[in-house]
A and B are shown apart, each in its own frame.
Chain A
Amino acid sequence: MQNRVISKKDLAGFVDDLIKTKAAGEVIGIQAKDSKFNFGPLKNAAELRLDYDIALLPPKKYFFPQIETVLKYEFGATPKVEPVVNDKAMCLIGVHPFDIRGLLLFDAVYGGANPDANLMMKRQKSVIIGVDCLTPNPKAFAASMGTAVTDEGFDLMLTDIGNDYFVTVGTNKGDSLIKKAKTKEATAADQEKRDKVRKDALKKYQVTLKMKPDEIPALLDANWESKVFNDKAATCFSCGSCVMVCPTCVCFDVQDDPALNLKGGERYRRWDACMLSEFAKVASGENFREHKEQRFRHRMYRKGKYLLERYKYLGCVGCGRCAIACLAQIASPAETFNLIKEAK
């Protein structure tokens, strides 16, 4: 597999072809939404905004939809039950490296032991065309999480090197797709340009984690009783904004919805999360994380320790979405970890 260089004009042609031919399935791309950006079905290449800072919701929504029907059933003497899996092929264009790291965590959670057909069948049929983030959001801290650049999890990775995009080819699938476009072989000089652009972008991150990410688990281990959790949680709304926008929040609720004709119904799963007050409540009424301080701490441990220890991927990729979404201004894991470290 040979890395390529593509002119901006030819990239637009390539994208329009993907949309027209559906060669890689439905084309989803990053586009403007009022003053922000979001992923959505792409009508043409002109809509694509590869210069964006952050998408409102991470691209996980295409593999793990906000609400997803998983079963359909008909009532009766013996109920008829059918699994529902929508695994249409998709091509996502413009995924940032930290969001790709988020998808890799999903692969580890949903593809490891007890693989989940609903999520993994979509993943297996998808193509990911990433783009390096050169204009990070002021609340992002991916540079210090080691997630601002990735060398896995994409089929193709685009880097804006001026008049052209450098195309890093990640898989054979990506290779055969880009071969259909008008490109040049990347030279050593092109690669140097890419590396410099990436390096310069790292310096644009305004929030810094004041430790190496792999030091977080030990920091948390030693600070279960930290006052920081209580101080921060005091103004928490338990509104769930931080966890709803998170690319590494993997949890869900399952509910039944009978049809009004009472002939059958469906079972769906919906994003749910540990910052919401009833998340750990059992049928008998006991709530194992009743207080917002406990929930706040649990989230920080998930982000900094639990997921890493279980799945080898940190539960935070430093995208900064939670910090943007949090009205109480308490959600940024980097800020909490830094405060704990400074309090020591």
Chain B
Amino acid sequence: MVMQLSAKQSLHLPRIAELIRVEKLSDREKVFEFKFDDGKELGQMPGQFVEISIFGVGEAPISVTSSPTHRGSFELAVRATGSLTNKLHTLEKGAKVGIRGPFGNGFPIQTLKGKDILFVAGGIGLFPLRSLINYVLDNRKDFGEVNTLFGCRSPQERLFIGQLQEWNTCKDMCFLETVDRCSDDSWTGNVGVITTLFPKVSFDPAKTYAIVVGPPIMYRFVIAECLKKGLAEDHIIMSLERRMKCGVGKCGHCQINGLYCCQEGPVFTYAQVKSLKEAV
């Protein structure tokens, strides 16, 4: 039998956080900055997620987009798709929400230390990846060469534009961007799917880890490209989406074969994903 439990240890009990900033990222996405009422840190690792509550509406799993190197508050970037996220989009500064977490394994920081990194983000896949990119930039000396590729469908769907600008001029990493299509001349950059950026970067496959986050369709092509470039299967790291309801490995909704995405994931190597039957 386990140790004596009390109701205060309820897995369902969230901590209260205050919304201190909202910023529109695009027509469908906003970034929300929160601060815990008790002044404590979230204490997340890049790639982890939280369960955010709006009381009376429900809970949803959202990846943390800010880096743990950013202290005092944390950010969630959210697309309005479901019941909770649509309601979240109506909240204003000062609103209180519940937060449980952080949950999940996060990106394997220790493995990545001293290695070269190729970040590949598609669309809102940038949200979880942004946490790690900023973590790496803030601890730059711990990592080797860094290349970052970001693609979205159109110039209107670019996210964190200020941040993209910074990365563009940042000397610490090579940053390349593309849009799938562009019908006007508002965009002078690369046009084409994200794999069209691959010939423009050079990396040493033996020393490099690729961290890939994006929609299911993107994984197929990007992984094929990574393998073609000679990356080992366990050097390709991805983050999977599932319906993580409880976050603590109980409710069963996020199960992929025998694994719980909220426990062993959401970050998996391609070698792991390949051995799973229903992962992608």
Contacts and interface: CB of A to CB of B under 8 A. Distances in A.
Contacts of B242: 280, 282, 288
A252 B16 contact: no
B82 A283 contact: yes
Contacts of B53: 267
A80 to B, nearest CB: 9
A285 B277 CA distance: 20
A73 interface: yes
Interface residues of A, number: 62
Contact of A117 (B10, B57, B251, B257): B10
Contacts of A306: 255, 257-258
A147 B75 CA distance: 50
Contacts of A310: 258
Given A114-B249, A250-B250, A256 B57 contact: yes
B72 interface: no
B89 to A, nearest CB: 13
B55 A75 contact: yes
Interface string B63-101: 000000000000000000111110000000000101000
Contact of A305 (B4, B250, B258): B258
Given A77-B96, A84-B7, A111-B2, A251 B55 contact: no
B56 interface: yes
Contacts of A288: 242-243, 256, 278
A11 interface: no
A279 B253 contact: yes
A138 interface: no
A286 B249 CA distance: 21
B11 interface: yes
A169 B96 CA distance: 52
A302 B278 CA distance: 14
Given A78-B96, A81-B14, A274-B252, A117 B6 contact: yes
Contacts of B250: 109-110, 114, 116, 250-252
Nearest to A73: B55
A274 B243 CA distance: 12
Contacts of A115: 2-3, 5, 9
Interface stretch (A118-126, A187-195, A334-342): A118-126
Contacts of B223: none
Interface in B216-253: 216, 241-243, 245-246, 248-253
A284 interface: yes
Contacts of B16: 78-79, 81
A115 B6 CA distance: 11
B5 A121 contact: yes
A83 B10 contact: yes
Nearest to A255: B58
Contacts of B251: 251-254, 269, 272
A289 B252 CA distance: 13
B253 A117 contact: no
B200 interface: no
Q: Which of A71, A224, A258, A273 has the most CB of B within 10 A?
A: A71
Q: B-side binding surface: helix, strand, loop or mixed?
A: loop
A70 B12 contact: yes
Contact of B8 (A83, A111, A267, A285): A83
Interface string A265-281: 10101001110000111
Contacts of A274: 252, 255
Nearest to A78: B96
A230 interface: no
B60 interface: yes
A254 B56 contact: no
A285 B241 CA distance: 12
A66 B112 CA distance: 45
A23 interface: no
Nearest to B15: A81
Contacts of A282: 241-243
A222 interface: no
B59 interface: yes
Contact of A254 (B3, B12, B81, B278): B12
Given A71-B10, A114-B249, A79 B2 contact: no
A75 B10 CA distance: 20
Interface string A234-273: 0000000000000000111111101000101101010011
Contacts of B57: 256, 258
B37 interface: yes
A113 interface: yes
Nearest to B103: A114
Q: Which of B1, B56, B98, B277 has the most CB of A within 10 A?
A: B56
Contacts of B206: none
CB-CB nearest 3 A-B residue pairs: A251-B252, A283-B82, A83-B10
Given A113-B263, A118-B10, 10 more contacts: A71-B12, A73-B55, A77-B96, A79-B96, A83-B8, A118-B11, A251-B251, A279-B243, A281-B243, A282-B241
14 contacts: A70-B12, A83-B8, A111-B1, A114-B250, A116-B11, A120-B5, A124-B4, A252-B245, A253-B245, A279-B253, A280-B253, A281-B243, A305-B258, A306-B257
